[in-house]
Chain A
Amino acid sequence: MLLTDAAIAELESHANQIRQNIIAMLVEAGSGHSAGPLGMADVFTALYFAVANVNPSKPQDPLRDRIFLSNGHICPVWYATLARRGFFPPDELKTLRKLNSRLQGHPHLGSLPGIENTGGPLAQGISQAVGAALGLRMDNSTARVYCLVSDGEQEEGQTWEAILCAAKYRLSNLTVIMDRNNIQIDGTTESIMPLEPLRQKYEAFNWHVIEADGHNMRAIIDACEEAAAIHERPTLIMMHTIPGKGVDFMENNFLWHGKPPTSDEAKKALNELRTLGGVITGEHQ
């Protein structure tokens, strides 16, 4: 896809707004995960604003591409992206994790327009995505299935059951996008349970593997387009991301995996996001 510099700048602006929404939502909720949602804001933006065929006014369109989230704990980025894309009113974002909210702590199928699957207990989403890809292919649908997964959930046995199955059925309509941010709750993935060589593992399971910079819009979009062009096998895109991206005191620190910012920390984070890291003058000092 040939995107002008202006189009890329617009995507980056969406991603920045989504990051600000994530910080605001987490502070309001008082619990939740910070690093993953911030790290995946660029990928979600690219998927919903440039790559996938989705239409907020027809969320159940049978021809739509399906976007599943397997590591449901990063759902603040899903909610913020869906709201920004017009699936539901952005005002509702502040109800995250509150009683009677449609924005559950982990996503629930059917709770909100655009939420395509229930996820939380890790690795369940990838099996669901395999099933959706099988079902769409039975119907000769041209729709694609995108499944976002984490690197930590590669430790679940179910992940590898699903990976075997997707390769068996040559699900070329399935793109799995892994947030390779190298952290999980208790530490770095390689210290908790070494995953490398991860690329070679997927290749040995007959997947096509692409690696991309998960903070470079053009690289994200190009990787998704390459995946769509692959025949006879599913594709894994290992998105190399920085956990906590955009908020310097959160970046690359596993301690931010599973906690929200305090209101003081949120002020600092929002200030950084609103000034593009100090490049421009902030409106909310």
Chain B
Amino acid sequence: MNLLWLQASGCGGCTMSLLCAEDPDVFDSLQDAGIETLWHPAFSASSGAEVRGLLEQIEQGKIALDLFCVEGAIARGPRGTGRFQMLSGTGRSMMDWVTALAPRARHVVAVGSCAAFGGVTTAGDNPSDAAGLQYEGAHDGGILPVGFRDQTGLPVINVAGCPTHPGWVLETLMLLAEGTLGADGLDSFARPRFYADHLVHHGCSKNEFYEYKASATALSELGCMMEHLGCVGTQAVGDCNIRPWNGSGSCTSGGYPCINCTAPEFENPRHSFTQTPKIAGIPVGLPTDMPKAWFMALASLSKAATPHRLAHNATSDRLDVPPGVRKPRS
């Protein structure tokens, strides 16, 4: 299979994250999966005229394209022209190129939340009038219509995340290369289920604090960040705390909240990212699939039962109180 990667209106961070793949690295992973890179803007040798020639040949169907990866949202402004991003050297907008090339590809992969939904590029009042490939925020239909399907019947595959974990991108590409990612492997936002069927909460190192509602009150404290610090890991999809980032990390292990970067419209939460919105002292966003009354009942019960160790450590920046150690019964 061959692969073409274009960077649209984004930060390039998903490519940079991809370079953090380890054992094997990104180049071995692609090569071993039989994926040949026709062109990638950060990795490939060719520049200028050679690239223009390649793009034209793909557009004309002279080169059959298998995997078309787009990183970044697509700028539609100003006034619908797409000229906020011209693909340099071609005199044509990125919007024009992506709509021309997508139907030519066996599979279209939106790499990152910008390409999937618009993402941070559309934050605030969306100054460049950008959109995702097949979604505009949570709404169906982006640059490509709602009904767009690739040559195998799949929609645009949304490897959402800001940035994407290198494993999410590589495993998606490897599954596609193998022919084993079908519609049933995608969730309702067309995100690969192998990572989107997990919650960021799963495996979070702060889970015990969560169980007892022992909350951090400020960044750098160890407690659960859901009650006060804006963490939405109980609602956000992603296996971030199951497979580590950069060796051993995750947002919550780094001491800052999950901001739900795999979801459409995460960029405009309507409150500060690091502060939990509350009504009458109760957080607005609670776990999605749990009855609210039960959650409240459990929370008040567990708060009442919080061990001193957790209550103390939750508002400290270090584990002051270790777990009790019991000798085996003799």
Q: Bound pair: A and B?
A: no
